[in-house]
Structure 1
Amino acid sequence: MPTGTWERLAEARRAAVLAAAEREFAERGFSQGSLNVIAREAGVSKGSLFQYFEDKVDLFVHVAGLASARIRENMQAAAFELPWDSDFFGSLRRLGAAWVRYFYAHPVDLGLTAAANLEPDRSARPAVRAAAAEQYELMLRPLIRLAAETGQLVPDADEDALLAHLILMLPHLALAPHVAGLDSVLGLDGAEVEDAIAGADRMLRALEAAYARR
Structure 2
Amino acid sequence: MVQNPKTFENLPKEKQERVLREATSEFAEHGYHQASVNRIVTRVGIAKGSLFKYFGTKQGLFDYIFSHAVTQFKQPLKHIRDTTSDKDFFERIEKSLLAGVDFIEAHPHIYRIYLKMLFQENFPMRDKFLGEVRRRSTKYLRPLITAAMESGELRKDLDPDMAVFYLDSVMDRFFQAHTVPALDGPITLYNTDRQTTEAKAHAITEMLRRGLTTPS
* TM-score for both structures, normalised by structure 1: 0.81
Q: Within 2, Cα distance between the matches of 1:52 and 1:112?
A: 20
Letter in 1 for 2:116: L
Separation in structure 1 between the aligned mates of residue 45 and residue 128 of structure 2, nearest angstrom: 28
Give me the whole-angstrom Cα distance separating, in 2, the residues matched to 1:80 and 1:141: 15
> Structure 1 pair 129/174, CA: closer, same or farther in 2 (3 Å)?
same
Q: Give 5+ residue unaligned stretches, structure 2.
A: none
Whose helix fraction is larger, Structure 1's or Structure 2's?
A: 2
Q: What does residue range 45-194 of structure 1 map to in structure 2 within 5 Å?
A: 45-82=47-84, 84=85, 87-104=88-105, 106=106, 109-119=107-117, 120=120, 121-194=122-195
**Per chain length, whose mean CA-contact separation is higher, i.e. which structure has more relative contact order (CA < 8 Å, sep 6+)?**
1
Q: Distance in 2 between matches of 1:100 and 1:147?
A: 24
Tell me the CA shift for residue 160 of structure 1.
Answer: 0.9
Q: Structure 1 residues 167 and 197, CA, compared in 2 at 3 Å: closer, same or farther?
A: same
5+ residue gaps, structure 1: none
Measure the CA separation in 2 of the matches of 1:204 and 1:30.
35
In structure 2, the CA distance between the partners of 1:27 and 1:16, relative to structure 1 (3 Å rule), is: same
Percent identity of paired positions between Structure 1 and Structure 2: 25
The 1:39/1:127 distance shift into structure 2, 3 A limit, reads: farther
Q: What TM-score do you get using the length of structure 2 for normalisation?
A: 0.80
| CA 90–137 in structure 1, closer or farther in 2 if over 3 Å, else same | same
Kindly state the Cα deviation for residue 152 of structure 1 after the two structures are TM-superposed.
Answer: 1.7
Residues 53 and 101 of structure 1: is their aligned pair in 2 closer, same or farther, counting only changes over 3 Å?
closer
* CA separation of 1:55 and 1:72: change in aligned 2, threshold 3 A: same
What SS does the corresponding residue of 2:42 show, helix, strand or coil?
helix
Q: Which deviates more from structure 2 when the two are superposed, residues 33-42 or residues 146-155?
A: 33-42
SS at match of 2:137: helix
User: Post-superposition shift, 1:170?
Assistant: 2.4
| SS of equivalent residue, structure 1 residue 197 | helix
CA contact (8 A) 2:150 2:156 kept: no
